[in-house]
Amino acid sequence: MRLTEKSKALFEASLQHIPGGVNSPVRAFRAVGGEPFFVDRAKGAHIWDVDGNNYIDYVGTWGPAILGHAAPTIIQAVQQAAEKGTSFGIPNPYEPRMATLIKQFFPSVEKVRLCNSGTEACMSAIRLARGATGRHKVIKFDGCYHGHADSLLVKAGSGALTFGHPDSAGVPPAFTEHTIVLPYNDLNAVEAALEANRGEVAAIILEPIVGNAGLILPDDGFLPGLRSLTQQHEALLIFDEVMTGFRVARGGAQERYGITPDLTCFGKIIGGGLPVGAFGGRSDVMDHLAPLGAVYQAGTLSGNPLALAAGIAALEALESGQVHQTLETLGARLEQGMIQAAQEAGVAMTFQRSGSMFCAYFGDRPVRDLSDAMACERDRFKPYFHTMLEKGVYVAPSAFEAGFISAAHTFEDIDATIEAAREALKRAAQ
């Protein structure tokens, strides 16, 4: 039985000072019941809570810990950068190096602008698309989460879905009247929307692989179809690769599927675990940004030296391709073991994976869109989650979040996870 006294005390104290006791809603465990634990430290593929419990971690700080927690190269880079100063608000040498690395991995990016989060990157990319095209409307998809900017918080995934309220209070209808929401993987709906709003759509934005409604893969032809339609209608195609960038392949989903978007949004991983974001793409579009153009975007902490030093260390470790080979091997082992464990437990489970990202849905058919995800037997996730936790495996406390494998996971970690899942799936089947 896990010790929880210290975590309970910290949560009780947090409830007195922080709304819901947490600083991001999904951390509150409301979707699975119970109370969150508080982390003391993390190393490699493991985390330890303040009560000393050890967990194999598949949240990985929601994706960026691709090398594992506290990777020595990243820690050393941050230490060396910190000795020179923690923030300047002035250009520093890390900025062109990061831009060069992003362009190296993503040939679609000709110029890049650094910012502070994935939310900021997506918000800024939408503003840029509207400014560059002179149009107002944007198409997004059910279940795709692009941060909590007002105009994009419509039928979003992630925490909004977890609590059953896809739209947020405090967002005036006028802020979202130019946002068109369509089902993911429905190319006919996209074509109809573009025809009905001919000459008015600035951009289509999407997660090319949906990571905020579990993990939903694009149908064959969906991404190429979007590329073709946006070109026909002179709208921009924006890939939100905050989760998938540098993870599902070195060049993200656009490398994996051979698609060239006009703009790409980045976050998480390019900070090596520190707060950072970026967006980039075609030079003729990016040059609409101030100080060259009329689209304003700024940030005091943009290009922060600590975040960039950490991110550069992380990305340089990916250059050889060995990390992604390791991740693919680990992912395949986990997938095979989880499918077998579900069969042994007699529970319907669909395991969807792209490289080192994955999700286990409780259902007997592939999940192609948000409606499929919502139709799964979500009540089975609660006993599954808590049993995994008791067995020392931490997966996200929501059925609508992707899991992440790191290069620090070992075969022993994967096998221990599968063993824990055997018991968890049996309980979920009851």
The single-letter code of the amino acid at 359 is C
- Residue tagged active-site, from 111, 140, 155, 268: 268
Q: Which residues contact 98 (CB under 8 A, 6 or more apart)?
A: 112, 114, 270, 278, 303, 308, 311, 312, 315
Q: Is 240 a catalytic residue?
A: yes
Q: Is 184 a catalytic residue?
A: no
Cβ-count burial 6-38 (b if 16+ within 10 Å, e if not): ebbebbeebeeeeeebbeebbbbbbbbeebbbb
Strands 236-240 and 357-361: unpaired
- Residue tagged active-site, from 49, 57, 240, 262: 240
The single-letter code of the amino acid at 213 is A
Give the integer Cα–Cα distance in Å for 94 and 305. Answer: 6
3-state DSSP assignment of residue 310: helix
Q: Could you tell me how far CA 387 lies from the centroid of its own chain? A: 25
The single-letter code of the amino acid at 259 is I
Q: Is 268 a catalytic residue?
A: yes
Task: Give one DSSP letter per residue of 165-177, joined into a string.
Answer: --SPTT--HHHHT
Give the integer Cα–Cα distance in Å for 55 and 390. Answer: 9
Task: Give one DSSP letter per residue of 226-269, joined into a string.
Answer: HHHHHHHTT-EEEEE-TTTTTTTSTTHHHHHHT---SEEEEEGG
Number of residues assigned to the chain: 430
- Residue tagged active-site, from 145, 361, 384, 394: 145
The backbone region for 121, taken as left when phi is positive above 0, alpha when psi lies in -120 to 50, beta otherwise, is alpha
Q: Which residues carry out catalysis? A: 145, 240, 268
